[in-house]
Structure 1
Amino acid sequence: MEALDLSPGEHRCPGPSTRDIIIADRQPVPEALLVEAPAYLGDEDIGYDRYTSPAFFDLEMKKLWPRVWQWVAREEELREAGDYVTYDIGPYSFLIVRGADDVIRAFYNACLHRGTQLRASDSSGFAEQLRCPFHGWTWSTEGDLQSIPCRWDFPHVRDDMFKLPQVKVATWGGFVFLNMDEHAVPLEEYLGVLPAHMKDGWDLGRRAVAVHIQKELPTNWKAAQEAFLEAYHVVETHAQNLPFAGDANAQYDLFGEHVSRFVHTHGVPSPHYPEAQTEQQIADKMHLPAGTIVPEGGTARNVAATWRRDNLGRKWGLDLSHYSDSEMLDSIEYHLFPNMCMFPGVSLPMVYRFRPIGMDPGRTLFDLLFLRPLAEGESHPEPVAPVRIAAQESYGSAPGVEPWLGATFDQDTNNLIQQYRGFHASKKRGETLGNYQESRIRHLHQTIDRYLNA
């Protein structure tokens, strides 16, 4: 009866919390992992038109995307002068180039003559100069106009007025970001708590991309990422994980306007799991080598973390002894508004990005990266090329993805087409969110509204 006296947003799953489990490991953990920052943001329905309406989508394209910092590349993709990548978001296209002066710039990807893209969408490579493939107008990699065929016919074109237009660029954690708003706050301010949390062993700049997968998802960009912002779906979508993964007792944190986080534990059963288990029985279900033994008085959680610490340490040539069991096992996910998710842990070192494709509210490109820590003194290797998989293909078909993990991602995104169709079909015209477990979704929408209403 005591739960009836709680205020909205204060209810929690009975039993040990994520924080309780991490503290019970009896190991030093990064201070950031012990911070709790919940917030109650209301309980109104979120309208389905926000996902399906072309008018709402158009408003996002005009008032949201041109004003936010968004990840467009990894720095190692732009290692040498002349290296470039293109980045598209909705109707916008950008050409990101490292100039001969070693400065990374982002140009609008359009010739100032008749608008042709200087480089095709979804392309990358090397260029000594930026030459339009239509008529040959040419700029330097710093954006200065160099030549025009039949220059005699363009006496009205002044070099100083025909520099390639740029947008703001900044780097953090090995990522390159751009912002179309010339009055945007500095990236470091926009990142909020992330620089303070992502330091030392969580420095994403000292990690290399091992796998990069791209997949089109048949849903809105918001719905696509919301599938990864909560663990509430685990009980139904990932029921095979209930014997060894916390879900209903996951922790959700909201850090200011642009950052949120969840932490949910592995090596302990879900509060939903009905059967009593020994620590050995838990370990037997955790994708560990056959014959793995939990010693008397030990825990499946510690045994699994130790195995991953030793196995990955050998694989990468690293000493991982300073990482806690939580960092080795748990799903620690930060969301950076509007569309980036980062996992700073060691054994689940993923980064996600969700961006609209063209001007269709129901098409999203999902970038899934797996990062690995670099050894002391190791330089970044050559960047890996993205592997594009079809909508009906399993993530497990991509090189470097373990079958069990690929199957888990399949479960995550197989729901999305039915959900998007349900958005259109539903008589009830909005989704009803949990006050705590789905607070990150509400946080996303409230931040979107602040941009749209500004």
Structure 2
Amino acid sequence: MSDTIKLADLKKGEARCPGAPSTQDIIAADKVAAPGWVRSESYQFLGDEDISKDRYIDPAYAKKEITSLWAKTWQFACREEHIPSVGDYHVYDLGPYSFIITRVAENDIRAYYNACLHRGTKLRASGTEGNAEEFKCSFHGWTWNIDGTHKETLCPWDFPHVEFKKLTLPEAKVERLGGFVFINMDKDAPTLAEYLGPAAKSHIDAWKLENRYIYLHVSKRLPCNWKLAIDAFLEAYHVIETHPQVAPSNGDANTQYDVYGEHVNRFISPLGVVSPHLYGKISEQDVLNQFTLGDSSAMGDTKLSVKDGGTARAVMAEMFRGMFEKATNTDLSKVSDSELLDCFSYTVFPNIFLFPGISLPMIYRFRPDPRDHRKCIYEVLFMRPLPLDGNRPMPAEPIHLEDHQSFCEAEGMDPGFGAILDQDTDNLILQQEGLEASAKPGLTLGNYQEIRVRHFERAVDKYVKPNS
């Protein structure tokens, strides 16, 4: 956007960082062109009114969410590799709800409500997985086949009023996409494709995430409402203050924000370029050095230089391309510089983030703490391409951190990224307590850089009506 354009002349939502190239300008200058899903834009001005703080601090609001939001939305329950064989199951808990995600046949996955139809005992404990030929209640022995049909009841003579043939385990709806298993408790819910919308669905299809597996899974309880935790990861506006160490090579104020329908949004945050906040203070060589030199670098002590007239971004793209080609024994000559470098963050409402980039493919998942609306469960799952032999490794077992532990303490966690997660989450207790102490009834949002927050909270409003 030209500096000669006055803010007063712009319509709401049109303002962009003055004097800085857009994300699309940066990508257009790359050596290897990006695919259409990268080069597209889908911003929409959605208003500028404050967001009510009650949604984050009111226990009555949290109670409404359980039945009006969580019971009516599509959510990621597990990956297909969690249940690769017939009879495999994985228990997924969400607030008070619990489901046994079970592979009944090669192409038949079901989600049973995890409760005995006798007196309600859980058929499988929370957090468990394994392989079963039947689901038997540990209390009185009532038993179901893995296809959900009733198998056996102790002393059936005492239940002449029960039609056992009709006593099948209730199910939630199940759909699969990109190796993910999604469930929805609403029998009248739209299909997953309708829920995502055609644009977002086409993006996810293009990534081929079914060809990746989970190699690291870290879980931690956070001291804030689940929506505050999600909001914290929806924008790059906080980078210069919260993560100053990455600003020399992160185009935070250049970041592009997009919304798709009601349930999906994204940002593309360009890497290998200096933050506009540091223009004139950081050279192209400084940008490259952050990745290749020093304790906080991403590449160890590899010494590389930017030639006269060149850019750190171009050098980094070739460096990453060579590294990943060697690691995967594949030709990446046609893979765009943007896919190799940039941070792509897609949020699928209500609680997952998909990061499909090649350099750091991962998933975030957020769930409310069933006992305290002021806390939530945060998971980060890192993905890798399948091994060259085609054999799919079993997904990593979750590492559950204690509330006081640093993400850096998780075995296998990159220390630099663990420190970033610590910085993000350290802000959240202050925000939760600050909202509860504040005399101001709402949160004020930027029209562009915080559009994903507004879009997300509009989706919340769709499901949780004030007087419902």
Task: Give the TM-score range, shorter chain.
Answer: over 0.9
Equivalent position of 2:384 in the other structure: 372
2: CA distance, partners of 1:376 / 1:195: 27
Are 1:48 and 2:60 an aligned pair?
no
Whether 2:391 is the aligned partner of 1:386: answer: no
Q: State the Cα distance separating 1:101 from its structure 2 match.
A: 6.6
C-alpha distance in 2, partners of 1:297/1:343? 32
The SS at the match of 1:367 is: strand
Q: Distance in 1 between matches of 2:106 and 2:34?
A: 42
* C-alpha distance in 2 between matches for 1:377 and 1:158: 50
Aligned to 2:240: 235
Partner of 2:294: none
- How does 1:40-79 map onto structure 2 within 5 Å? 40-79=45-84
Identity of aligned residues (%): 49
Are the equivalent residues in 1 in contact too, given 2:329–2:388 (CA < 8 A)?
no
Provide the C-alpha distance between the structure 1 equivalents of 2:462 and 2:286, rounded to a whole number of angstroms. 48
Map residues 296-311 of structure 1 onto 2, 5 A cutoff. 296-311=308-323
Matches within 5 A, 1:106-121: 106-121=111-126
Residues 1:10 and 2:22 aligned together = no
Letter in 2 for 1:120: A
Which residue of the partner structure matches residue 349 of structure 2?
A: 337
Measure the CA separation in 1 of the matches of 2:425 and 2:246: 17
Bigger mean CA deviation after superposition, 329-338 or 1-10: 1-10
| Match status 1:170 vs 2:175 | yes
Distance, in Å, in 2 between the alignment partners of 1:122 and 1:332 is: 30
- Partner AA of 1:197 in structure 2: H
Contact 1:81 1:102 (C-alpha < 8 Å) held by counterparts: no
Aligned to 1:268: 273
* Kept in 2: contact 1:96–1:106 (CA 8 A): yes
Question: Letter of the aligned partner of 1:366 in structure 2?
Answer: Y
CA distance in 1, matches of 2:57, 2:93: 21
> What count of residue pairs does the alignment treat as equivalent?
453
| Partner SS, residue 242 of structure 1 | helix
| Deviation for aligned residue 1:293 | 2.3
Q: Which one of 455, 464, 467 corresponds to residue 452 of structure 1?
A: 464
More off after superposition, 382-391 vs 261-270: 382-391
Secondary structure in 2 matching 1:378 = coil
Corresponding letter in the other structure for 1:299:
T
Is 1:318–1:375's contact at 8 Å kept on the other side of the alignment? no
Give CA-to-partner distance per residue, 1:160-211, whole Å, 9 cap, x none. Answer: 22100111001001000100011111111112122311344x1111111111
User: What's the counterpart of residue 99 of structure 2?
Assistant: 94
Does the aligned pair in 2 maintain the 1:317–1:375 contact within 8 Å? no
Cα offset, 1:102, TM superposition: 4.9
Deviation at 1:244, TM superposition (A): 1.1
Aligned counterpart in structure 2 of residue 441 of structure 1, from 428, 453, 463: 453
Aligned mates of 1:392, 1:294 — CA distance in 2: 42
Question: In structure 1, how many angstroms separate the alpha carbons of the residues matched to 2:235 and 2:159?
Answer: 57
Conserved 8 A contact 1:52-1:220: yes
Q: Which of 198, 204, 215 lines up with 2:220 in the alignment?
A: 215
8 Å CA contact retained: 2:178, 2:205: no
Task: After TM superposition, give the deviation of residue 375 of structure 1 in Å.
Answer: 5.0
The equivalent of 2:332 in structure 1 is 320
Shift of 1:359: 4.2
1:283 equivalent in alignment to 2:288: yes
Letter in 2 for 1:56: Y
Alignment check: 8 A CA contact 2:195 2:263 kept: yes
Amino acid at match of 2:460: I
Q: Give 1:404's match in structure 2, choosing from 416, 424, 449.
A: 416
Helix, strand or coil at the partner of 2:268: strand
Offset from partner CA, 1:18-53 (integer Å, 9 cap, x none):
111011113221101111111111111111111111
SS at match of 2:252: coil
SS at match of 1:210: strand
Give the AA of the match of 1:8. K
Distance 1:163 1:331, change over 3 A: same
Asked whether the 8 Å contact 1:396–1:406 carries over to 2, the reply is: yes
Q: Out of 166, 176, 190, which is 1:161 matched to?
A: 166
CA distance in 2, matches of 1:314, 1:399: 25
Distance 1:130 1:285 in 2: 54
Aligned counterparts of 1:183 and 1:393: Cα–Cα separation in 2? 42
Of 331, 351, 358, which aligns to 2:370?
358
CA distance in 2, matches of 1:257, 1:376: 38
Paired amino acid for 1:382: M
Distance 1:158 1:314 in 2: 61
Secondary structure, aligned partner of 2:249: coil
In structure 2, list runs of 5 or more residues that go unmatched: 292-296
SS in 2 for 1:80: coil
Distance 2:135 2:367 in 1: 26
Letter in 2 for 1:198: I
**Residue identity opposite 1:303 in structure 2:** V
* Secondary structure in structure 1 of the residue aligned to 2:81: helix
Separation in structure 2 between the aligned mates of residue 13 and residue 113 of structure 1, nearest angstrom:
61
Aligned to 2:154: 149
Contact kept, 8 Å, 1:86 with 1:96, in 2: the verdict is: yes
Residue 425, structure 1, aligned to residue 431, structure 2: no
Aligned to 1:197: 203
**Structure 1 letter corresponding to 2:16:** R
Q: 2-side partners of 1:405 and 1:422: how far apart? A: 26
Moved more, 344-353 or 284-293: 284-293
Q: Determine which of 128, 153, 160 is the counterpart of 2:133.
A: 128
Is this contact kept in 2: 1:46–1:432, CA < 8 A? yes
Please give the alpha-carbon distance, in whole angstroms, between the structure 2 residues aligned to 1:392 and 1:24. 44
1:6 partner letter: L
Match of 2:44 in 1: 39
Provide, for residues 200-246 of structure 1, a one-character-per-residue CA deviation record: whole Å limited to 9, x for no partner.
4x111111111111111111111101111000000100011111111
Task: Give CA-to-partner distance per residue, 1:108-149, whole Å, 9 cap, x none.
Answer: 100001100000111111111101111111000110110111
Counterpart residue type for residue 27 of structure 1: V
- In 1, the alpha carbon distance for the partners of 2:320 and 2:401 equals 28
CA shift at 1:322, angstroms?
2.6
Q: Which moved more, 1:352-361 or 1:281-290?
A: 281-290
TM-score by length of 2: 0.94
AA matched with 1:28: A
